[in-house]
Amino acid sequence: MTEKKKTTIVLLSGDYDKAMAAYIIANGAAAYDHEVTIFHTFWGLNALRKDESILVKKGFMEKMFAKMMPRGADKMGLSRMNFAGIGPKLIKNVMKKHNAIPLPQLIEMAQEQDVKLIACTMTMDLLGLQEEELLDNIEYAGVAAYLAEAEDGNVNLFI
């Protein structure tokens, strides 16, 4: 086949439903043989957090951020009907019934399909997130790296 098409997604949202949409599209695009990149910034970075607590040196504000943000994809809330955390439990039950893939597995599958996961380093600094706290085998970059992928991209989404 001719040169591979590219899909780039910016994931700014830290909501379970929005991240799920991003990762379903990413996995679909990978199945379309696209070169897929998800650029995680701001709250979207939480999708890349490991779920265990990792000891890193942080200032007061950074510690507060770390406490208040979801630690990993599975702990994210819903953008609507979150009901103080009951919403995600309900939706996960419904998803199980319909055989929909939970977000952590979608992320795993994306990595297996060679979807490039990028963490925005500028917002990592703002939120006080460090490389040790994020998943292995991801890349770290800024706006230029994203644009380099996006400028010859065929599908480009901001979620």
Partner 1 sequence: MNVARVVDAKGLACPMPIVKTKKAMNELESGQVLEIHTTDKGAKNDLTAWAKSSGHELLDYEEEAEVLKFRMKKG
Does position 151 interact with partner 1 (CB under 8 A)? The reply is no
Question: Would you say 47 or 124 has its CB closer to partner 1?
Answer: 47
What 3-state class would DSSP assign to 7?
A: strand
Phi, psi of 50, deg, nearest 5: -70, 150
Q: Which SS3 state, helix, strand or coil, does residue 44 take? A: helix
Closest CA to 4 of 36, 32, 34: 34
Minimum distance, C-beta of residue 27 to partner 1, in the bound complex (Å): 5
Asked if 109 is part of the footprint of partner 1 (rule: CB under 8 A), the reply reads yes
User: Residues 131-150: x/- map of binding to partner 1 (CB under 8 A)?
Assistant: --------------------
Token digits of residue 156: 């480009």
Residue in the block written with tokens 């419904």: 94
- The reply to whether 30 sits near partner 1 by the rule CB under 8 A is yes
11 and 40 Cβ atoms separated by less than 8 Å: yes
The count of residues interacting with partner 1 (CB under 8 A) is 14
Q: Are 38 and 110 in contact (CB under 8 A)?
A: yes
Comparing CA positions, the residue from 65, 2, 10 lying closest to residue 34 is: 2
Can residue 4 be called a binding residue for partner 1 (CB under 8 A)?
A: no
Sole window of 35-43, 74-82, 97-105, 133-141 interacting with partner 1 (rule: CB under 8 A): 97-105
Q: Nearer to partner 1 by C-beta: 1 or 68?
A: 1
The piece of 28-36, 54-62, 70-78, 114-122 that touches partner 1 (CB under 8 A) is: 28-36
Residues in the chain: 159
Q: Does 3 bind partner 1 (CB under 8 A)?
A: no
Choices 11-19, 79-87, 98-106, 132-140 (CB under 8 A): range interacting with partner 1: 98-106
